[in-house]
C-alpha cells in the first residue's frame, strides 16, 4: 500500500515536470486493491483497468517494470506502445490494460470459461470502476457469467467519481452490488477502505467460484482521492470539503493505526516503511530514466506474429525516412 | 475429394479442425442445437457437445469479448456472428481489443480469435442482412481479413485461419453458400494467406473480384471472350494480407484494371487496389482503373439487383477500359 502511494505521489510530480506524459493515480484505493490481491492465487488471472497499480505490485510486478512502462523506454515489457498506467505482466497473469471502459469484463468471463473447460481450479478477476457499470460489456459480461456460472469475480472499485460524474448520476440503483441480483448471482458491498474486510469478501468469493458456485460481484466502496488523471482538474466538479472528509478516512492510515494498536508496528518502523518505499521509487526512476528509448523500427513489430509484405515495405520506407523531424533520436 | 457447397465446406473445415485439436471451440448465437441459421455448424453440437459448441446469449460484444478471454487463456475459439450487419456491438472488442492485444502488450498477450460471419447481398435481406463492410476491418491494423469464393478455398482458408497466430475476420459470401459447389480436398488442406488465386488467365484486362462477386466476374469474362476481349480474373482471397505482387504483375501484363465489389465505392476496398496500381503499376496502365461496385447508398431491399454489380455491368466496365486505349 505504501509503495503504491509513494509511487503515485512521485509520479504525479514527474508528470508535472514533463518526465512522463500522463498519470492516473490509485490514491485512496490501495486497501481495496491489496486486500483483493492477497486473497487470490498466483494462478488466478487479472483483467485490470488502468488504475490498478497496487494490484500489479501485489501480484509481484517489479517497481522497475512499472516505471519502465510509465516512461515507455526500451525495457518496457509493452514496448512503449501505450500511455502510462496501461501495464501488463504475462508472468503474473496480469493482462495488459486498455483505455476503453469495461471491455476487460467480458474477456475475464471468457478466460473463466476457458479455465472451466481446462478444469483449472482458478478464478478470473475483472477490475473496473463505478463508471464501467454503465458499459455494454458490464452487462454482457455479468450476463454471460450468470448463464455459464463462471468462476469470475467482478471487482468493482466504486470510487464515487467517473471523471466528473458522481456515483448517484451513474445509476439509479441504490448500490452497484445489487445489480448482480438481476443476473442471478450474489453481489456484496464491502468497505474498500478496510483491507481485512476486502480480503474476506474476495476470499469468500474465490472459494465459491472454485467450488463451482459461480461468480460474485463485489462493490468495494472507496474514494478517488486524486484526479481522474493528470489531465483532470477535480476542483471543477467536487468540493474540497468532500475530499477532506474522505482524506480523513485514508485507508493506509487506518491500517497503520490498527497495526500500531495491535502492537505489530510502531511509529519508527512505520516511518522506515515510508522511507524505504520512497527510496525504492527514487532509485527505480533514476535507473529507468537512463534506459534508452525504443528503437524506431520496433513500431512495426507485434502488429501480427510476422511482418506482412506490406508492413515490411513500410518498415523499409520508415528506415530511410529523412532525419531531423520530431521524434528523431 | 468431395463435391460440396461452400457452406458444407465450412462445416467440414470446422469439424475436422475440432476433431484434430480439442482447444478449438465454437461460440455464437444459435450455433448449437440449431446448427446455425445458415447451418454452417450443423451436426457439430451433437458430435462435440455443449462445452465446445456454445450457444451464447444474444450479445455480440459478449461473444467476441469472451472469445478474446478464451484465446488469452490458450484456447482457439471460432466465434460466429450471425450476420456481418450485426457485428457492430462487438466493434469495440474487435478494433480496440482483439486487433491490438499483441501490439499493446509488446507481444506478451497474442490473441488468436477467428470470427466467422456471413456478409453480402443478393438474398433479399435488405438494409440489415446484406452489407459488405470489409473495409472497416481492413482499415484496422492487426486484423487479417479473409473472403473465400469457392468451397475448396472456404475450407482451406478456414483451416489456415484456425491455425494462424493472429486474429482473423473470416467473411463468408452467403449469397453463394449453396449456389456454388466444387471439389474440396479431404484432410488438412490449407490455403496460404496472401496468395491470390488466378481464376482465369487473360491478356487484355485484369478483373479483381472476391467473394460473391467472383461468379459474375467470370460470367463477364465469358461474355467478353465472345467479343474477342481476353479478361484475366484474379481473386485476392485475403484482403489482409493482400497479394499486391499478383495484382501488380497482372496489370503489368494487361495494362488495364477493373475492380469489382459489392461494398459502396467511396473508401471501398477497390480504392486501395486503385491506389496500389497508381503507385506501383502507373506506367503500365493504358486506361484509368475502373470500379464496379455497390452505390454510395444504404443497401436497398426491393432494388437490390439494381444495386449489385452483375456480369453485364462488369463487362461494360471492361469494354470501357479496353476502348480507352
Q: By the 8 A CB rule, do B167 and B100 touch? A: no
Residues forming beta bridges with residue A89, ordered by sequence position = A94
- State whether B97 and A118 contact (CB < 8 Å): no
Asked if the model's pLDDT at residue A329 lies above 70, the reply is no
> Nearest-CA distance from B287 to chain A in Å?
26
Tens digits of pLDDT across chain B (325 residues): 899 999 999 999 999 999 999 999 999 999 999 999 999 999 999 999 999 999 999 999 999 999 999 999 999 999 999 999 999 999 999 999 999 999 999 999 999 999 999 999 999 999 999 999 999 999 999 999 999 999 999 999 999 999 999 999 999 999 999 999 999 999 999 999 999 999 999 999 999 999 999 999 999 999 999 999 999 999 999 999 999 999 999 999 999 999 999 999 999 999 999 999 999 999 999 999 999 999 999 999 999 999 999 999 999 999 999 998 8
Q: Which residues of A touch B92 (CB under 8 A)?
A: 100, 103, 136-137
- Among A47, A97, A107, the strongest candidate for a mutation testing the B interface, having the largest count of B CBs within 10 A, is A107
> Which sequence positions of A are flagged as catalytic?
224, 228, 237
Q: Which residues of A touch B89 (CB under 8 A)?
A: 136
Q: Which residues of B touch A136 (CB under 8 A)?
A: 61, 89, 92
- Among A106, A184, A295, the strongest candidate for a mutation testing the B interface, having the largest count of B CBs within 10 A, is A106
- State whether A141 and B25 contact (CB < 8 Å): no
> Is B260 strand, coil or helix?
strand
- Which residue reads 506502445 in cell numbers? A81
Distance between CA A176 and CA A165 in Å, rounded?
Answer: 15
Whether B59 and chain A come into contact, CB under 8 Å, resolves to: yes
- Write down the pLDDT at residue A326: 81
- Write down the pLDDT at residue A328: 62
Backbone angles phi, psi at A299, to 5 degrees: -45, -35
Domains located in chain A, CATH noted? 2-289 (3.40.50.970), 299-324 (no CATH)
Asked if the model's pLDDT at residue A209 lies above 70, the reply is yes
Distance between CA A185 and CA A197 in Å, rounded?
Answer: 20
Protein fold of B2-184: Rossmann fold (3.40.50)
Which of A25, A128, A20 lies closest to A80, judged by CA?
A: A20
Q: By the 8 A CB rule, do B325 and B256 touch? A: yes
- Write down the pLDDT at residue B223: 98
Which of A76, A80, A79, A72 lies closest to A61, judged by CA?
A: A76
Which of A210, A26, A184 lies closest to A125, judged by CA?
A: A210
All three cell numbers of A70, joined, read 510509465
Distance between CA A155 and CA A112 in Å, rounded?
Answer: 14
Q: Which residues of A touch B78 (CB under 8 A)?
A: none
- Which residue reads 486473497 in cell numbers? A39
- Among A113, A183, A184, the strongest candidate for a mutation testing the B interface, having the largest count of B CBs within 10 A, is A113
Q: Which residues of A touch B71 (CB under 8 A)?
A: 110
Backbone angles phi, psi at B168, to 5 degrees: -130, 125
Residues comprising chain A, all counted: 329
Which of B14, B3, B2 lies closest to B172, judged by CA?
A: B14
DSSP code of residue B140: S
B250: left (phi over 0), alpha (psi -120 to 50) or beta: alpha
Task: With residue B323 as reference, give the H or E element that holds it.
Answer: helix B311-323
Q: How do B181-184 and B2-5 pair as beta strands?
A: antiparallel
- Write down the pLDDT at residue A324: 81
Task: Search chain A and give the residue with CA nearest B53.
Answer: A117
> What Cα–Cα distance (Å) separates residue A4 from each residue in A7, A27, A225?
5, 8, 14
Residues forming beta bridges with residue A73, ordered by sequence position = A293
Question: Which residues in chain B (13-52) have CB-CB distances under 8 A to chain A?
Answer: 25, 51-52
- State whether B109 and A47 contact (CB < 8 Å): no
- Write down the pLDDT at residue A325: 80
Residues comprising chain B, all counted: 325
- Write down the pLDDT at residue A211: 96
- State whether A109 and B69 contact (CB < 8 Å): yes
Distance between CA A159 and CA B221 in Å, rounded?
Answer: 65
- Write down the pLDDT at residue A327: 75
Distance between CA B4 and CA B22 in Å, rounded?
Answer: 25
Backbone angles phi, psi at A243, to 5 degrees: -65, -45
- State whether B69 and A114 contact (CB < 8 Å): yes
- Which residue reads 483483493 in cell numbers? A36
Task: Search chain B and give the residue with CA nearest A77.
Answer: B106
Q: Which residues of B touch A294 (CB under 8 A)?
A: none
> Over chain A, what HEC string results?
CHHHHHHHHHHHHHHHCCCCCCCCCCCCCHHHHHHHHHCCCCCCEEECCCCCHHHHHHCCCCHHHHHHHHHCECCCCCCCCCCCCCCCEHHHCECCCCCCCCHHHHHHHHHHHHHHHHCCCCCEEEEEECHHHHCHHHHHHHHHHHHHCCCEEEEEEECCEECCEEHHHHCCCCCCCCHHHHHCCEEEEEECCCHHHHHHHHHHHHHHHHCCCCCEEEEEECCCCCCCCCCCCHHHCCCHHHHHHHHCCCHHHHHHHHHHHCCCCCHHHHHHHHHHHHHHHHHHHHHHHCCCECCHHHHHCCCCCCCCHHHHHHHHHHHCCCCCCCCCC
Query: How remote is the C-alpha of A20 from its chain's centroid?
Result: 18
What's the complex ipTM?
0.96
Question: Concatenated DSSP letters for B188-245?
Answer: S----TT--EEEE--SSEEEEE-GGGHHHHHHHHHHHHHTT--EEEEE-SEEES--HH
HSE-CB of B129 using CA atoms within 13 angstroms: 11
| Residues with Cβ within 8 Å of residue A118, at least 6 apart in sequence | B73, B74
- Among A66, A114, A142, the strongest candidate for a mutation testing the B interface, having the largest count of B CBs within 10 A, is A114
Whether B297 and chain A come into contact, CB under 8 Å, resolves to: no
All three cell numbers of B184, joined, read 474440396
**Between A103, A113, A303, which is nearest B93 by CB?**
A103
- State whether B62 and A86 contact (CB < 8 Å): no
**Between A107, A141, A305, which is nearest B110 by CB?**
A305
Asked if the model's pLDDT at residue A218 lies above 70, the reply is yes
Q: Which residues of B touch A115 (CB under 8 A)?
A: 73
**Between A89, A110, A308, which is nearest B241 by CB?**
A308
Question: Which residues in chain B (104-123) have CB-CB distances under 8 A to chain A?
Answer: 104-110
Do the domains B197-323 and B2-184 match in fold?
Answer: yes
Distance between CA A38 and CA A200 in Å, rounded?
Answer: 10
> Which sequence positions of B are flagged as catalytic?
129
DSSP code of residue B307: H
**Between A81, A117, A140, which is nearest B65 by CB?**
A140
pTM over 0.95: yes
- State whether B108 and A90 contact (CB < 8 Å): yes
pLDDT digits (tens, 9 = 90+) for A116-147: 999 999 999 999 999 999 999 999 999 999 99
Distance between CA B149 and CA B206 in Å, rounded?
Answer: 18
Distance between CA B222 and CA B255 in Å, rounded?
Answer: 20
- Write down the pLDDT at residue B325: 80
Every domain of chain B and the residues it spans: 2-184, 197-323
Class in CATH terms, B197-323 = alpha beta
Amino acid at each position: 500500500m505504501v509503495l503504491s502511494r509513494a509511487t503515485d505521489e512521485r509520479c504525479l510530480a514527474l508528470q508535472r515536470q514533463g518526465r512522463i506524459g500522463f498519470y492516473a493515480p490509485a490514491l485512496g484505493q490501495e486497501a481495496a486493491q491489496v486486500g483483493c490481491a492477497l486473497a487470490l492465487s498466483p494462478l488466478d488471472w487479472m483483467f485490470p483497468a488502468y488504475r490498478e497499480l497496487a494490484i500489479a505490485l501485489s501480484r509481484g510486478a517489479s517497481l522497475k517494470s512499472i516505471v519502465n512502462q510509465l516512461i515507455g523506454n526500451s525495457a518496457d515489457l509493452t514496448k512503449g506502445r501505450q500511455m502510462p498506467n496501461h501495464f501488463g505482466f504475462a508472468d503474473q497473469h496480469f493482462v495488459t490494460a486498455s483505455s476503453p471502459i469495461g471491455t476487460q469484463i467480458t474477456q475475464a468471463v471468457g478466460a473463466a470459461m476457458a479455465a472451466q473447460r481446462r478444469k483449472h481450479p482458478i478464478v478470473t478477476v475483472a477490475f473496473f470502476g463505478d463508471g464501467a457499470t454503465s458499459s455494454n460489456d458490464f452487462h454482457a459480461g455479468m450476463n454471460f457469467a450468470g448463464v455459464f456460472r463462471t468462476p469470475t469475480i467482478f471487482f468493482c472499485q466504486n470510487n464515487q467519481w467517473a471523471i466528473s460524474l458522481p456515483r448517484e448520476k451513474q445509476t439509479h440503483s441504490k448500490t452497484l452490488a445489487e445489480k448482480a441480483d438481476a443476473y442471478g448471482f450474489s453481489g456484496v458491498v464491502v468497505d474498500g477502505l478496510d483491507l481485512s474486510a476486502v480480503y474476506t469478501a474476495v476470499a469468500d468469493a474465490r472459494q465459491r467460484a472454485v467450488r463451482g458456485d459461480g461468480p460474485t460481484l463485489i462493490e468495494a466502496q472507496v474514494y478517488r482521492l486524486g484526479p481522474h488523471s493528470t489531465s483532470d482538474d477535480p476542483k471543477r466538479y467536487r468540493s474540497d470539503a468532500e475530499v477532506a472528509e474522505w482524506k480523513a478516512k485514508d485507508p493506509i492510515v487506518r491500517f497503520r493505526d490498527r497495526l500500531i494498536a495491535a502492537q505489530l508496528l510502531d511509529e519508527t518502523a512505520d516511518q522506515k516503511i515510508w522511507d524505504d518505499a520512497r527510496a525504492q521509487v527514487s532509485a527505480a526512476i533514476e535507473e529507468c530514466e537512463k534506459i534508452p528509448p525504443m528503437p524506431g523500427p520496433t513500431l512495426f513489430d507485434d502488429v501480427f506474429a510476422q511482418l506482412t509484405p506490406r508492413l515490411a515495405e513500410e518498415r523499409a520506407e520508415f528506415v530511410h525516412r529523412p532525419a531531423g523531424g520530431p521524434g528523431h533520436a | 475429394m468431395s463435391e460440396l457447397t461452400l457452406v458444407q465446406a465450412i462445416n467440414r473445415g470446422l469439424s475436422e479442425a475440432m476433431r484434430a485439436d480439442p482447444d478449438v471451440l465454437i461460440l455464437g448465437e444459435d450455433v448449437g442445437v440449431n446448427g446455425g441459421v445458415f447451418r454452417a455448424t450443423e451436426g457439430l453440437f451433437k458430435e462435440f457437445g455443449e462445452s465446445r459448441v456454445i450457444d451464447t446469449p444474444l450479445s455480440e460484444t459478449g461473444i467476441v469479448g469472451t472469445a478474446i478471454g478464451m484465446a488469452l487463456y490458450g484456447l482457439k475459439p471460432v466465434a460466429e456472428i450471425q450476420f456481418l450487419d450485426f457485428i457492430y456491438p462487438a466493434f469495440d472488442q474487435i478494433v480496440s481489443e482483439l486487433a491490438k492485444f499483441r501490439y499493446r502488450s509488446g507481444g506478451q498477450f497474442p490473441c488468436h480469435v477467428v470470427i466467422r460471419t456471413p456478409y453480402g447481398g443478393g438474398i433479399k435481406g435488405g438494409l440489415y442482412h446484406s452489407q459488405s463492410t470489409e473495409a472497416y476491418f481492413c482499415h484496422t491494423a492487426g486484423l487479417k481479413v479473409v473472403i473465400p469464393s469457392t468451397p475448396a478455398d472456404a475450407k482451406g482458408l478456414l483451416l489456415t485461419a484456425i491455425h494462424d497466430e493472429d486474429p482473423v475476420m473470416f467473411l463468408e459470401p452467403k449469397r453463394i453458400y449453396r449456389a456454388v459447389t466444387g471439389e474440396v480436398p479431404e484432410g488438412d488442406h490449407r490455403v496460404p494467406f496472401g496468395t491470390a488465386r488466378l481464376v482465369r488467365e487473360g491478356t487484355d484486362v485484369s478483373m479483381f473480384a472476391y467473394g460473391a462477386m467472383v461468379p459474375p466476374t467470370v460470367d463477364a469474362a465469358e461474355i467478353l471472350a465472345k467479343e474477342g476481349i481476353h479478361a484475366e480474373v484474379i481473386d485476392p482471397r485475403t484482403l489482409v494480407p493482400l497479394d499486391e505482387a499478383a495484382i501488380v504483375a497482372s496489370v503489368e501484363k494487361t495494362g488495364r484494371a477493373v475492380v469489382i465489389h459489392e461494398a459502396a465505392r467511396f473508401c471501398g476496398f477497390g480504392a486501395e487496389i486503385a491506389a496500389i496500381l497508381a503507385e506501383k503499376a502507373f506506367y503500365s496502365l493504358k486506361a484509368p482503373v475502373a470500379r464496379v461496385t455497390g452505390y454510395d447508398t444504404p443497401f436497398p431491399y426491393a432494388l437490390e439487383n439494381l444495386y449489385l454489380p452483375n456480369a453485364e455491368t462488369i463487362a461494360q466496365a471492361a469494354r470501357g477500359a479496353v476502348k480507352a486505349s
